[in-house]
Structure 1
Amino acid sequence: MLHGYVINKCIFIEVWSRSATKTLLLMAVISPSQAFSYDVFLNFRGSDTRQGFTGYLNKALHDSGIHVFIDDEGLQSGKIITPELKEAIEKSRIAIPVLSTNYASSSFCLDELAVILDCSRRNGLLVLPVFYKVPPRHVRHQQGSYGEALARLEKRLLEEHNMENWKMALKEVAGHSGFHFEDGKEYEHKLVEKIVERVFSFINNGEERLHVADYPVGLGSQVLEIRKLLDARKNDASVNMIGIHGMGGVGKSTLARAVYNLITDQFEGSCFLQNVREESNKHGLKHLQSIILSQVLGMKEINLASEQQGISIIKNRLKRKKVLLILDDVDQHKQLQGIAGSSDWFGPGSIVIITTRDKQLLASHEVKTTHEMKELNKEDALKLLKFKAFKNGEVYPSYTEVLDQVVTYASGIPLALEVIGSNLFGKSVQEWESAIKQYKRIPNNQIREILEVSFDSLGEEEKSVFLDIACCFKGYKLWEIEEKLCALYDNCMKYHIGVLIEKSLIKISHDERVTFHDLIEDMGKKIDHQQSPREPGKRRRLWLHEDIIQVLKDNSVSD
């Protein structure tokens, strides 16, 4: 049996058998034009709302330039879901079930709803239910007109129905964040405007999905583990805090990004707060608090006077919102206390995911649900190494032994495999063997030393450019770095940057900023610091405030 889902435009297929479960990654890149034929699929009881609410909603969506599938061609005339209807659901970004008074009287509507929810689980289809003149609890618990309708269907259809599937579908759709319309409490046109705004915002924010990885091998099974942890408390209205822990470079942030992309559409507001350790050290907790408030509430600029004010505003403004908050690379308890102090800061159904190298930190914050990030198995590690070392080219049999040796020394750590593979790209078997001799001197799992082998292979000027960037320019725009350093390196800057990218020592983000893993940053700073550990004035680069102050006080800058 196959179970599939999509992460970062790559398809993960779960293959289930009696003996084992395997996750296969098909590196098929799906373009938007291939993936979606429609923006919105409308699921509704025609006799209830076609000439009224659903008709108005369809027109408003169409007038906003949103491509809608609505069954005006009699595809619902039979008793079963036609292939055309199923394909329309599969190829839609969003499904809007309009749950009206007589909706549950239609076995066809219920079958269609079951297909929609199956697509939501498999492909991340966003489901936005509209509870139209029906209390959500009646849908969830099959009460009122819904209970009566299902009882009639049960008598009429006898053995031919899927009653349990329908009940499960109604319970599940009631758990999705949507819209509730009650007579006398709101104008219909106002609700239509809200729905159109939500749909338009979702479609336009598609490009805000996070880049997961260039080659996300081995992620599928771990994403599935997190999904199981989330599903275990799916019907729990409380806030779910989950910790992902493991050593540096093992892929915690990558996993968190994949999960974020998969579930972010289910929340009223989301925020992926990356590099908490680094950003809190540089800018303080109130800076991080303002980012959360800005992203979740959709406000452009929030100025906080203090961390205490930030805590107060987060608690007051988010306690009724269903939010997704991911706190990446947390290393101190005070960071959690200032950003997600307790579960009652957020609304029912919210999820907070924390990545950290420190499992004890999770325990001290009473995070009971945790997942240990596992290293890549040998098969996946080999795939990643081949991808980095040979790109999509042919791998000759003569490389088999050296590939196996590198996989052994990298110990399944993605960052190490990525850097080693990039360093050995285009090299002969003899050059691989020479590099392996260097790796053999390094104790297992000592990633920083493994990374230093790549640094040692750089030319002298490339080493200098790397140390300048690692110590002083992380997060800067590429053009800013080139402008600041061109006086030192003339017209060679672009070449040197290219070499550093090829060796996976730095990366360029979607907004043209220079980024790299904090282990690579630590390595660069350690190397620079070793040039003169006790006399900072003799170093070329100063980044610590205390070192800068000491040098200025002592007037000890060397020539």
Structure 2
Amino acid sequence: MAFQEVSSSSSSSLSSTSSSSSSTRQWVYDVFLSFRGEDTRNNFTAHLYDALVRMAINTYRDDDDLKRGENISPALLKAIEESRISVIVFSQNYASSSWCLDELVKILECRETMEQIVVPVFYKVDPSEVRHQRKSFGVAFAKHEERFKDKQMMVQKWRTALTQVSNLSGWHLGNRSEPEFIREIIEWVNLILVKKTYFQVAQYPVGIESRVQKVKSLLDIEKNDRIRMVGIFGTRGIGKTTLSKAIYNSIDAQFECSCFLENISEASSQKDGLIQLQNKLLSKILGNSSQVVDNVDRGSTLIKQRLSRLRILLVLDDVDDSLQLEKLAGKCDWFGLGSRIIITTRDKPLLLAHGVYSTYEMNGLDHDESLQLFCWNAFKRDKPNDGYVEIAEDAVRHSGGLPLDLTTLGLALKKKRYTLLEKKTGRVQKNF
């Protein structure tokens, strides 16, 4: 795959230090297409849009140029905000449209505040023309300077936006055929969407957020000059995997690459299990699905060689043997500066033996949290229904604060209530 560095700086469209989390946002569109209609509506952009749709990638394309006024419509602004990725097609006359330039400014605002991924596509223009507003872009801005004499701050904002976006990694047509060019863009978009598909954490995430914040303080993500391993330990059913998924969702966008290896204990017990885990790690980080590891020791060497320059987020879930750590994340220097490795296990001494001294003990939910979780599962509300207070309190005492047990008990009571109601009335009411 040929996602090209067409920038003159090290800026990346895949990372952001924004405090907002894209993991909790419900994106309506996968892709927002920004383009100059007169240039590419009926050729390149049309073909790109069709290819995206054929891949079941939900894409917003604005076809309303003929009805445009001076300002971007609220509906279009909303579509930009609701899109996971913005693809900006720069063509020769892109900069002549003040509408397109306003659209670009809004897209870059969303990149900063909403962790939106932004990728420029340079169609029959050189990135340097966009970056420095030369040739057709220079002509367009000379006209803007004349037309908007009383709005020079706006014109400068447009210039800054063009310079900023052209410094992002993107795609340049060059001498390639358009079908090949489009195919590469589609492959990249599809890969990013797969990588950025977040985990469903829990139907009722009671007590999770406070624990997420505690582990994040241990991770100290803002320090990019170090690599840190953090362990989460606790008994079965305490919620370690749920917590690690929630943390992964909340910080994934701040890393170049990420990988979540789930159920390591079970997976490594299978034939060639560790080899398969090594292959999965490499393919997730490097974007190559081919099986490159056939020996566990060679796999360890390859992980260190290929990942030592990348700032990655790696979660190793349910580790129960030191060999699993040695072969998947032997030492901190296997990964690039700023990397964070999260390990969940029932065995704290296993963490300490591997040199993981920054740990978080996962304790059970307190009484109020336990009662809420049980009630959400049993009654779809945060407190017991009339006549069930004593049963709910018994369940809380019996569970010992284990989320898994509380969920199981709550669902069991819910099923029993459904059964009793069906016997009594002959039918089950909706939203019971």
- What TM-score range do you get, normalising by the shorter chain? 0.5 to 0.7
- For each residue in 1:232-255, what CA deviation from the matched residue of structure 2 results, as whole angstroms up to 9, or x when unmatched? 439x4x785452513223312112
Among 59, 64, 85, the alignment partner of 2:76 is: 85
Q: How does 1:100-119 map to 2 (within 5 A)?
A: 107-117=101-111
2 CA distance for matches of 1:79 and 1:160? 13
**SS of aligned partner of 2:388:** helix
1:212 aligns with 2:201: yes
TM-score, scaled relative to structure 2: 0.64
**SS of aligned partner of 2:279:** helix
Which letter maps to 2:402?
Answer: I
Q: How does 1:44-83 map to 2 (within 5 A)?
A: 44=35, 54=45, 57-58=48-49, 60-61=51-52, 66-74=57-65, 77=68, 80-83=71-74
Q: How does 1:158-557 map to 2 (within 5 A)?
A: 179-181=170-172, 183=174, 189-201=179-191, 205=194, 210-223=199-212, 232-233=221-222, 236=224, 241-248=228-235, 249-260=237-248, 270-280=258-268, 283=271, 285-296=274-285, 297-299=287-289, 301=291, 304-305=294-295, 307-319=296-308, 324-346=313-335, 352-357=341-346, 373=362, 375-390=364-379, 395-401=384-390, 403-404=392-393, 406-407=395-396, 410=399, 412-421=401-410
| Aligned positions, number | 384
**SS of aligned partner of 2:31:** strand
Classify 1:303/1:62 alpha carbon distance in 2 versus 1 (closer, same or farther; 3 Å): closer
- For each residue in 1:127-175, what CA deviation from the matched residue of structure 2 results, as whole angstroms up to 9, or x when unmatched? 4454776779x99xxx7559x98xx899964677996x99799879967
1:327 positional shift:
0.7
**SS of aligned partner of 2:319:** coil
Please, what is the CA RMSD of the aligned residues?
Answer: 5.3
1:385 positional shift:
1.0
- For each residue in 1:299-356, what CA deviation from the matched residue of structure 2 results, as whole angstroms up to 9, or x when unmatched? 3545623x21111232344456675532102244443231123455456776543223
**SS of aligned partner of 1:198:** helix
1 CA distance for matches of 2:229 and 2:70? 43
Is the CA contact (8 Å cut-off) linking 1:316 and 1:345 kept in structure 2? yes
Classify 1:190/1:97 alpha carbon distance in 2 versus 1 (closer, same or farther; 3 Å): same
**SS of aligned partner of 1:328:** strand
Q: How does 1:119-134 map to 2 (within 5 A)?
A: 120-121=114-115, 126-130=117-121
Is the CA contact (8 Å cut-off) linking 2:308 and 2:335 kept in structure 1? yes
Q: How does 1:6-17 map to 2 (within 5 A)?
A: none
Which letter maps to 1:304?
Answer: D
2 CA distance for matches of 1:275 and 1:423? 26
- For each residue in 1:447-484, what CA deviation from the matched residue of structure 2 results, as whole angstroms up to 9, or x when unmatched? xxxxxxxxxxxxxxxxxxxxxxxxxxxxxxxxxxxxxx
2 CA distance for matches of 1:300 and 1:100? 36
Q: Percent identity?
A: 37
Among 1, 24, 43, the alignment partner of 2:34 is: 43
Is the CA contact (8 Å cut-off) linking 1:390 and 1:426 kept in structure 2? no
2 CA distance for matches of 1:353 and 1:279? 18
1 CA distance for matches of 2:45 and 2:326? 46
Who is 1:530 aligned against?
Answer: none
Q: With a CA cutoff of 8 Å and minimum separation of 6, indicate the structure with the bigger relative contact order.
A: 2
Is the CA contact (8 Å cut-off) linking 2:396 and 2:406 kept in structure 1? yes
Classify 1:47/1:366 alpha carbon distance in 2 versus 1 (closer, same or farther; 3 Å): farther
- For each residue in 1:216-265, what CA deviation from the matched residue of structure 2 results, as whole angstroms up to 9, or x when unmatched? 3333444566678889439x4x7854525132233121122234456668
Is the CA contact (8 Å cut-off) linking 1:378 and 1:407 kept in structure 2? yes
1:108 positional shift:
0.5
Is the CA contact (8 Å cut-off) linking 2:32 and 2:87 kept in structure 1? yes
1:383 positional shift:
1.8
Which structure 1 segments of 5+ residues have no match? Answer: 13-29, 429-559
1 CA distance for matches of 2:127 and 2:336? 20
Which structure 2 segments of 5+ residues have no match? Answer: 1-18, 418-432
Moved more, 349-358 or 335-344: 349-358
Who is 1:474 aligned against?
Answer: none
Is the CA contact (8 Å cut-off) linking 2:120 and 2:165 kept in structure 1? no
Classify 1:275/1:69 alpha carbon distance in 2 versus 1 (closer, same or farther; 3 Å): closer
1:118 positional shift:
6.1
Which letter maps to 2:102?
Answer: F
Classify 1:281/1:395 alpha carbon distance in 2 versus 1 (closer, same or farther; 3 Å): same
- For each residue in 1:80-131, what CA deviation from the matched residue of structure 2 results, as whole angstroms up to 9, or x when unmatched? 542111232244453223478998996513432145326744xxx5544547
2 CA distance for matches of 1:345 and 1:118? 30
Is the CA contact (8 Å cut-off) linking 1:212 and 1:254 kept in structure 2? yes
Classify 1:229/1:99 alpha carbon distance in 2 versus 1 (closer, same or farther; 3 Å): farther
Whose Rg is larger? 1
